[in-house]
Amino acid sequence: MRQTDSVNDPAIRTRLWRNGIVDKEDFPLADVSDYLNEPGCIVWADLTDPTPDMLKQLGDELGLDRLAIEDAVEPHERPKASRYSTHTFLTAYHLNLNRETRELSAIQISAFVLKHGFVTVHNEGFDVDGMVKVWDENIDLCVFGVEALAYGMLDFIVDGHFDTVQALDDEIEELEDLLFDGGIHRVQRRTFAIRKSLVHARRVVLPMREVVNTITRRDTELDPALRPYFEDLYDHVLRAAEWTESLRDMISSVFETNLSLADARLNTIMKKLTSWAAIIAIPTAVTGFYGQNVPYPGFNQHWGFVTSSVMMVGLVVGLYVMFKRKDWL
C-alpha cells in the first residue's frame, strides 16, 4: 500500500487505543495493519471521500471483502449490517435538517468492524469530531474491544436521527398553527416539503432496527458487558422509528384537514355569493316589473313608485335577516 501520511492529509484520521487508553493519533495509514495483531490494541482509520484505488489497497491489506468495499463507495446504499468471514460491514446515514431552507440532508457512512480494527468511510460533511466525542465520553467501554467503537458511531447517528425527527415534529406543530390562519397555499407548500423530508427520513431510520439487531443478536464476539448498551441503542432506534411513523400520520392528517378547511371556506363563500345574489335579484325583479311599457296598478302614479320602493326594501331586508339567521352571511 502506498505510504499515506495522515498528518498531512486532512481526509485521513487514525487513532490507536492500547488497553482502553488513547496511545497515538494521526499516524500514517500504512501503519494501521502493524497494530492489528498487537495484544490489547484497537485501531481506527477514517477516510473521507476516498478514491476507489485507495480503498482497494486498504482492503487488500486488511482483508476486507470486495463486495463490502464496493458498497462502501456506492451512493444511495440501504442502511444494513452484513457479516463476512473476517469482519462485519455497516452502512448508515447521518441526518441533518436545515431549519431555514427546510431541506433534509443524509450523509452516508460505512464501517468495517474487524477483530481489532475499525475503518470508517464517509462523504464530506460528516461530523467526525462529534463521533469521536462520543468515544471520548465513553472511554471506559474501549477496553471491551472494537465493538465499542461501533456502538459509539451508531449511538451518534441515532442521536442525530432523534434531533431530526424532533425538528420535523416542531415543523408540524408550527404548521398546525398556520392551518387555521387561512394561508392555504402556504400550508400546502410546507406540508409537501415536510412530507418529502419524512419520506426521506423514514428510509434512513426504519432500517436501523435491522442494523443494530444484527450486531446485538448475531455477533457472537460481542462482549457481554457491551450487550446492554446495544440493547438500549436498539430501544432508541425503535422509538425513533415509531416517532417517524406517527409524524407521517400527523402530516397526512394536516394535509387532509387543510383540504377539508378549503372545502369549508369554499362552501362559505358560495353561500355568501348566493345570498347576495338573491338579495340583489329582488330590486332587479321589482324594477323590471314596474318598468313595463304597459299599464299596471299604480302606472304613472306617485303611490305606484312608493309601493315599488317599499316592496324592494321590505323584501331585501327580509331576505338579509333570513340569511343572517341561517349563518349564510
Fill in the amino acid letter for 127. Answer: D
**Residue after which a domain boundary falls, among 261, 277, 304:** 261
Q: What is the CATH number of the domain that holds 59?
A: 3.30.460.20
Residue 273 lies in a domain: yes
Q: Put the strands of the sheet holding 12-18 in their side by side order.
A: 21-25, 12-18, 41-48, 117-122, 104-113, 88-97, 80-83
**Residue 130 pLDDT greater than 90, yes or no:** yes
Q: Give the Cα separation of 111 and 121 in Å (integer).
A: 6
- Listed range (90-94, 146-150, 185-189, 225-229) with the worst mean pLDDT: 185-189
Buried b (16+ CB within 10 A) or exposed e, 220-242: eebeeebeebbeebbebbeebbe
SS (H, E, C) 183-226: CHHHHHHHHHHHHHHHHHHHHHHCCHHHHHHHHHHHCCCCCCCC
Range of the structural domain that residue 287 is part of: 269-325
**Residue 199 pLDDT greater than 70, yes or no:** yes
What number is the average pLDDT over the span 260-277? 77
| DSSP summary character for residue 86 | S
Short-list 212, 277, 271, 216, CA closest to 240: 212
- Claim to verify: residue 124 and residue 228 sit in the same structural domain: yes
- Claim to verify: residue 136 and residue 280 sit in the same structural domain: no
**Residue 271 pLDDT greater than 90, yes or no:** no
pLDDT the model gives residue 171: 85
- Claim to verify: residue 215 and residue 321 sit in the same structural domain: no
Grid cell, residue 109, equals 457512512
Residues 6+ apart with CB under 8 A from 235: none
**Residue 148 pLDDT greater than 90, yes or no:** yes
**Residue after which a domain boundary falls, among 207, 230, 261:** 261
Tally of CB atoms within 10 A around 140? 10
**Helix, strand, coil content of the chain in percent (nearest 5):** 60, 15, 25
- Claim to verify: residue 297 and residue 199 sit in the same structural domain: no
**Residue after which a domain boundary falls, among 261, 278, 305:** 261
Give percent above pLDDT 90 in the chain. 30
What SS3 state is found at 118? strand
- Claim to verify: residue 251 and residue 220 sit in the same structural domain: yes
Fill in the amino acid letter for 112. Answer: F
- Claim to verify: residue 81 and residue 202 sit in the same structural domain: yes
Provide the pLDDT confidence category of residue 294 given band limits of 50, 70 and 90. Answer: low
In the chain, how many domains are there?
Answer: 2
- Claim to verify: residue 233 and residue 275 sit in the same structural domain: no
| DSSP summary character for residue 115 | S
What SS3 state is found at 48? strand
**Residue 296 pLDDT greater than 80, yes or no:** no
| DSSP summary character for residue 78 | P
